[in-house]
Amino acid sequence: MRANGEKLRDKLIGGEYEPAPVRGVQIPKPGGKGVRQLGIPTVVDRLVQQALAITLQNTFKIDLAILGACVTGRLIPQDEE
């Protein structure tokens, strides 16, 4: 597992990672009015998606917190001396 993780990391850093095709499954709609297509990503793709989501959420959470503090006046820039 460690070797696979290192390979995945290298692909991500090198810009060579490509997600696998999503597995399509048809599930019945409520009331029997046809079917709905449901896409199921691979475990590795889901792991990458979640890691990216966590990274972006943390990045934007900090930026939004700073912006909110500036707008409300709770964060006032210090004069440069």
Confidence bin at 7 (pLDDT 50/70/90): very high
Q: What is the pLDDT of residue 78?
A: 55
Cα–Cα distance, 51 to 11 (Å, whole number): 15
Confidence bin at 81 (pLDDT 50/70/90): very low
pTM of the model: 0.61
What is the secondary structure of 11-64 as a DSSP string?
Answer: HHHHT---PPPPEEEEEEPGGG--EEEEEE--HHHHHHHHHHHHHHHHHHHHHH
Q: Which residue has the higher pLDDT, 74 or 11?
A: 11
pLDDT in tens, 28-66: 998 888 999 999 999 999 999 999 888 887 777 776 677
